[in-house]
Structure 1
Amino acid sequence: MTLHPTEASANTFIDGWQVSKALGGGGFAFVFLGEKNSQRRALKVARHREASGDPKQTHARTLREVTTLLMLDHPNIIRPRGYGLAESGNLYLALDYVDGWTLAEWAERKHPSFREVLGVFEKIAGALAYMHRRGILHRDLKLSNVLIRKSDGEPVIIDFGCATHAFAEDLTDGGLPPGTERYRAPEQFQFMQDHKDEPRARYASRVADEIFALGVMLHELLTDPRPTEFRARFDLNSRVFVPPAPRAMNPRVPEGVSDLALTLLSREPARRPVDTEALRRELAELRQQTAAEYDVPVHRPSEQHPAEPAHGGPPAALPLQPTPVPLKRPGALLERPRRRSWWPAGIAVLVALGVVAGLWNESRIAASPPPPSPNRSVPGRTAPPDMSPPSRSPVAPPGPAIDATQKEGSALKTPAPEGPSQGRTPRLKKKPAAVVECAALSLVAALAAGCPGAQLRPESFTCPAEAEEAMREQLHWSRFDRFSLQLDDRHSPFEDIWFTSGDDVVGIRVENEGYPEMMALAPAGTRFYGKAYYLSDKMGRVNGPALVVRYDRVKLPGQDEYPICFVVESRAQAFKDGKVKARNSNTGFVVDRWP
């Protein structure tokens, strides 16, 4: 078996590397800090998931990551330092250990100015342009996958577990490539909607997807003083909801920076910068502005964490953590995090709701995107990828992005020839100062105001290993086992009731004479704990708007609680003010992933 973070100790070795501590982990790997011959490396050990049904994919994914990194040599991209077999038999990858903060932690602790943020994103865009010219896509860009090195402030892109290149093997079973839901471009969801009846359809990732993900990262840093905190946020990739202008949410944001962020988040890929090199030039142009507003902190330091002291400070950021997993002491598996209350933030803005509701229509008109630019790239034009050995120079010379065609979705989009005036992206028109967008409010306020599209949507997930083990060993449940539930114990199972998106719900097992074998596995009175969500588009089994209840814990009569993965999907009858109306009883399924 693969070494688990809770088992890491100073006496543990991985292929001769002495493990000093666990750094993190995710669905496909654990990461440890290893030392050997006075060298420190981040050791990323492949983790086999039994749910995948194919143990060969464990090695295949790691080999693809190794291959991808060996094709790269850039100061702002994590460097591989070797690979081998761990004692478990799984492959591991040794990488540079970056002593630094994640991009979100850096923004909170160092209180950077707009000029400093633009400088970091300029270097990230330059590194991506270097990758894209070699036919490589990262496919999981987010704030936690960029580290800011403490010693020199340089950004380093990490975690290439989802990356792909022109000749990479197809390892994805679903229609969408791997990645983090919040950072996906909206056209990916549109693709799934358009091909919902084609199970073999596969979305082809493009440079435009990477640019959108950078837009989400930039928007979050500009508008959220504490991006490391886990809380509900607006879906910037919603197909029915226009992203809020950063300047409307944070008046400190210079107009040019706010406009660029909105351009990156455009619903039309052709309206985004033509490639990451064009984006890098735009960021450099903004960074060179002489206005004093570019030199003030993005947020008031009092709204963020205290600045880093001269000596000491927080522990180094976790390298290579696709999905950070906190280390748990033995027996802490079933501990449930304390629920945070949203009411203090909501009450503070309810006073303005009457004004906001009346201004929604005006805001939508003001935020309408401009017509497509004739200077954008022409869809469908492709060229063979440039897979020549990468240059050893720190930064590759500028050049056009190269297309790369592959099964799992990495067809890079080839731009049309760019003229002297095509480097800039059309800006969205400046909104009237009096317009307050619904999107600029907190989620509670937006839901109370009835803002269209304001919702909590469930993230796609793969069932955690501890839940799979509990369902298999303790509960004796199997994938696709079905149980009929009263979805919310506060109402009759025969009612059509309103569910608030994002609220906790407790479901109760009801009698199901049609499936007596299921009653033995989950008898009447079994309680399911989870959250309700509203989906305006198709992600799961139900066509059209749906109520989705994701239950992650269960308690059988007279037994302890266990972690589970159980999903109920019901057709939505109505949606209003952040609530969805649906029948309070339905049959759900044991799942190993969703959707």
Structure 2
Amino acid sequence: MTATPIETPPSTLIDGWQVSKEIGNGGFARVFLGEKNGNRGAIKVARHREVSGDFKQTHARTLRELTALLMLDHPNIVRPQGHGYTATGNVYLALDYVDGWTLAEWSERKHPTIREFLSVFEKIAGALSYMHSRGVLHRDLKLLNVLIRKSDGEPVIIDFSCATYSLAEDLTEGGLPPGTERYRAPEQFQFLREHKDEHRARYAFQVADEIFAVGVMLHELLTDSRPTEFRPRFALNSQQFEPPPPRLANARVPEVLSDLVESLLDRDPSRRPVDTEALRREFADLRADPIVDYDVPAHPPSEQHPSEPDAQGALGAPLPIGPAPLKLHVALMKRPHRPARWLAGVAGVVALVVAAAFWGPSAESPAPPPEPRVAPNPRPPSAPHSPPPIAAPPVMSPPGPSPVPAPGPAIAAVPKEGSALKNPAPEVLTQERTSRMPKKSVAAAECASLSLIAALAAGCPGAQIRPESFTCPAGAEQAMRENLHWTDGDNFTLLLDDRYGREDVWFTAGAEVVGIVPKGIGRERQLEVAPVGTRFYGRAYYLSDKMGRADGPALVIRYDRVKLPGQDEQPICFVVEATAKAFKDGRVKSFNGTSGSVVDRWP
């Protein structure tokens, strides 16, 4: 059957919408600017091209897009205004017209600060969380599909032509759902390799795929001062190389944010944030941090294409793109994934000394601490924050071709660690766990600099390896009873550390821990009062006296605060006690997924 053309000239009427010009063109539809009764709208008309397969699927996808949008009502998601058929029989949608820039254009034109990026991505993650709670998956998140409205700076997610929802009909012909290659999670390509001979195999798109796409978007904006330019770029979903940390390419990116982006792009989906609500809270916590590093432009304005007049009223000329420095290539090849932090090395020394003080000769003799790796441009903990360097960060894209296959090759990057690094030594795990805690780093460094006696007296984290009994936080009993509806003895399952999956993990005795209720909980009682995404904040301890246990030493985590999805933090008294499989150098090895209990007093 021959496709119906949809060349819609200006002044065409579509169900009363006066079409004026084309404003978008995609694989499944074309978008026109329309006006009706004084209101402007984006008129999206389903299309058919010979290369796009069965033209009826373009109609089916447009109708599915409509169904998905009718399930949603959120200020950061485009809204439908109507639908119908054109005179030529093509399905059309009338959507809100968003007068704004794409994320890439906004980044270049407005020169946003790190905090402004965090604010935008917090709202994007919030919209995704709302969307996912209603069973809708976008499946094509990218810089072009998020607009920043000019009138108020609000982000709006658009283009749901690739979206799906629970129980939707499968329209996919191939193994992968429709989407943009650069933003696909690496597990999608792994699925294709594993099922290359199974013609009916279909990849089940997950929230983790959306989170990876968010990571690609943020990585691009933080590392590329000109994201609108068409040029080769490093494939962040490459199976051969780990994505380079944003801070390595742009020294203005704070270390804690760089670590968060790395976690979003983790090759293991279970190591990414558990859902988009958890991701939203991550962004919110960083945005609320008063650190001055977040209040400077992510890129020097002189590197971008300014479209707004500067202080003198002149438009700056774009700078030429130079080749990526060879030194950066070497650094990327040599740098291990998530390098050691200097603070972890210092804290480790204190942990060793404290451990020796508590266990005496029976404790293992501490090995000399490894030489700490200093991150690029580290901030001294006791000094005030200084402005970022004025020098331009290294360019991420060389002029020549890259050996990495499409999409978007660019620089040589970090090769995957070998099998010997899949289960890193306790030191490596501890250093990884020190990231994304900027508010506590200064206090920890000060504690680490004290003598052992002074540290014990000051109550520094390293000294809190063996806890004593004491009462619960003030207000915990009332909060648990009246606000949370918890009762003494309630038992909840959670991941003790939200950065890891259900696996053995090395916990630093005395360090703060953030636990989370994962997906897959089947107990109705827990889902009612501690649902998926609930975060528990506490501290880890090691007990060598068995604490009345018959099966050996224990890891004990006391959680004193909780935050349910969409609610404020509240004081609690919640204890997890797990078998300690090993103890070494102030670190405790235990299984990360287990249950804990509501108590009225710390044991």
**TM-score normalised according to structure 1 size:** 0.56
Q: Deviations over 1:340-371 (max 9, x none)?
A: xxx9623xx4xx53x55655553146669xxx
What amino acid is the match of 1:260? L
Provide the residue aligned with 1:478 in structure 2.
none
Which amino acid in the other structure matches residue 345 of structure 1?
G
Return the index of the structure with the highest Cα Rg.
2
SS of residue in 1 equivalent to 2:335: helix
State the partner residue of 2:335.
Answer: 363
- 8 A contact 2:259–2:338 mirrored in 1: no
In 1, Cα distance between the equivalents of 2:373 and 2:287?
A: 20
Does 1:345 pair with 2:299? no
Q: Which residue is equivalent to 2:583?
A: none
What are the superposed Cα offsets for residues 255-295 of structure 1, whole Å, 9 maximum, x if unpaired?
11111111101011011000000000000000011111100
Between the aligned partners of 2:147 and 2:47, the Cα distance in structure 1 is: 23
Q: For residue 266 of structure 1, what is the aligned residue in structure 2?
A: 266
Inter-partner Cα distance in structure 2 for 1:106 and 1:41:
21
Partner of residue 43, structure 2 = 43
**Separation (CA, whole Å) in 2 of partners of 1:28 and 1:129:** 26
For 2:164, the equivalent position in structure 1 comes to 164
Partner of 2:288: 288
1:444 to 385, 394, 398: 398
Alignment of 1:104-119 (within 5 A): 104-119=104-119
Retained in 2: the 8 A contact 1:69–1:80?
yes
Q: Identify the residue that residue 457 of structure 1 maps to in structure 2.
A: 406
Structure showing greater relative contact order (alpha-carbon pairs closer than 8 Å, 6 or more residues apart)? 1
Separation in 1, partners of 2:328, 2:120: 35
Give the percent of matched residue pairs that are identical in Structure 1 and Structure 2: 65
Distance 2:191 2:54 in 1: 27
Q: Is 1:8 aligned to 2:5, yes or no?
A: no
Which letter does structure 2 place at the counterpart of 1:115?
A: R
| Structure 1 residues 27 and 432: CA distance shift in structure 2, 3 A | same
Distance in 1, Cα, partners of 2:97 & 2:259: 36
Please tell me whether the aligned partners of residues 18 and 36 of structure 1 are also in contact (alpha carbons under 8 angstroms): yes
Structure 2 matches for 1:139-154, cutoff 5 A?
Answer: 139-154=139-154
8 Å contact 2:6–2:47 — kept in the other structure? no
User: 1:303 offset after TM fit, Å?
Assistant: 1.0
> In structure 2, do the counterparts of structure 1 residues 97 and 440 end up closer, same or farther at CA, with 3 Å as the change threshold?
same
| Cα distance in 1 for residues equivalent to 2:328 and 2:249 | 14
What does residue 555 of structure 1 align with? none
Could you tell me which amino acid in structure 1 is paired with residue 222 of structure 2?
A: L
Aligned-partner Cα distance in 2 for 1:86–1:235 = 40
Distance 2:12 2:293 in 1: 52
User: What is residue 65 of structure 1 aligned with on the other side?
Assistant: 65
Question: C-alpha separation between the residues in 1 aligned to 2:231 and 2:153?
Answer: 28
How far off its partner does 1:59 sit? Answer: 1.9
Q: Distance in 2 between matches of 1:430 and 1:93?
A: 55
Provide closer, same or farther for how the CA distance between residues 296 and 3 of structure 1 changes in structure 2, counting only shifts above 3 A.
Answer: farther
Structure 2: distance between partners of 1:295 and 1:432: 21
Q: Which runs of 5+ in 1 are unaligned?
A: 314-342, 369-428, 448-452, 460-500, 503-535, 537-595
Shift of residue 430, structure 1, vs aligned partner: 7.4
Cα–Cα, structure 1 residues 4 and 59, in superposed 2: closer, same or farther, change >3 Å? closer
Q: Give, in whole Å, the separation in 2 of the partners of 1:306 and 1:14.
A: 38
Which residue matches 1:93?
A: 93
Distance 2:104 2:50 in 1: 33
After TM superposition, give the deviation of residue 8 of structure 1 in Å: 2.2
Secondary structure of the structure 1 residue equivalent to 2:256? helix
More helix by share: 2
Does structure 2 conserve the Cα–Cα contact (< 8 Å) formed by 1:82 and 1:94?
Answer: yes
| Change beyond 3 A, Cα 1:268–1:36 | same
1:445 to partner: Cα distance:
7.6
Paired AA for residue 168 in structure 1: A
Q: State the alpha-carbon separation in 2 of the partners of residues 159 and 271 from structure 1.
A: 28
Distance 1:358 1:275, change over 3 A: closer
Q: Deviations over 1:555-590 (max 9, x none)?
A: xxxxxxxxxxxxxxxxxxxxxxxxxxxxxxxxxxxx
Alpha-carbon distance in structure 2 between the residues aligned to 1:358 and 1:304: 26
Q: Give the 5 Å matches for 1:191-210.
A: 191-210=191-210
Question: Taking structure 1 as reference, are residues 183 and 365 closer, same or farther at Cα in structure 2, changes over 3 Å only?
Answer: closer
What is the CA distance between 1:15 and its match in structure 2? 2.5
Residue aligning to 1:80: 80
Take 1:366 and 1:130, find their aligned partners in 2: how far apart are those partners?
31
Structure 1 residue aligned with 2:20: 20
Conserved 8 A contact 1:273-1:279: yes
Is residue 243 from structure 1 mapped to residue 243 from structure 2 by the alignment? yes
1:445/1:159 CA distance change after superposition, 3 Å: closer
CA contact (8 A) 1:109 1:308 kept: yes
Distance in 1 between residues matched to 2:237 and 2:40, nearest whole Å: 39
Counterpart Cα distance in 1 of 2:5 and 2:53: 20
Q: Normalising by structure 2, report the TM-score.
A: 0.55
Q: Deviations over 1:67-96 (max 9, x none)?
A: 000000000000000001101101100000
> Partner letter of residue 398 of structure 2?
V
Query: Which amino acid is 1:457 matched to?
Result: A
Q: Is the 8 A contact 1:226 1:304 kept in 2?
A: yes
Task: Kindly state the Cα deviation for residue 116 of structure 1 after the two structures are TM-superposed.
Answer: 0.7
* Number of the residue aligned with 1:494: none
Q: Is the 8 A contact 2:23 2:32 kept in 1?
A: yes
**Cα RMSD for the two superposed structures:** 3.0
- One-letter amino acid of the structure 2 residue matched with residue 37 of structure 1: N
Q: What CA distance in whole angstroms lies between the structure 2 residues aligned with 1:167 and 1:20?
A: 37
- 1:120-159 aligned at under 5 Å gives the runs 120-159=120-159
Residue 13 of structure 2 aligns to which amino acid in structure 1? Answer: F
Provide structure 2 residue ranges, at least 5 long, that are not aligned to the other structure.
314-319, 341-371, 379-392, 416-603
In 1, are the aligned partners of 2:99 and 2:149 still within 8 Å (CA)?
A: yes
SS at match of 1:98: coil
The one-letter code matched in structure 2 to 1:444 is P
Structure 1 pair 445–106 and aligned structure 2 pair: CA distance change class (3 A): closer
Aligned to 1:276: 276
Report the CA distance shift for 1:144/1:131 in structure 2 as closer, same or farther (over 3 A): same
Give the CA deviation at 1:456.
Answer: 4.3
Cα distance between partner residues in 1 of 2:399 and 2:59: 47
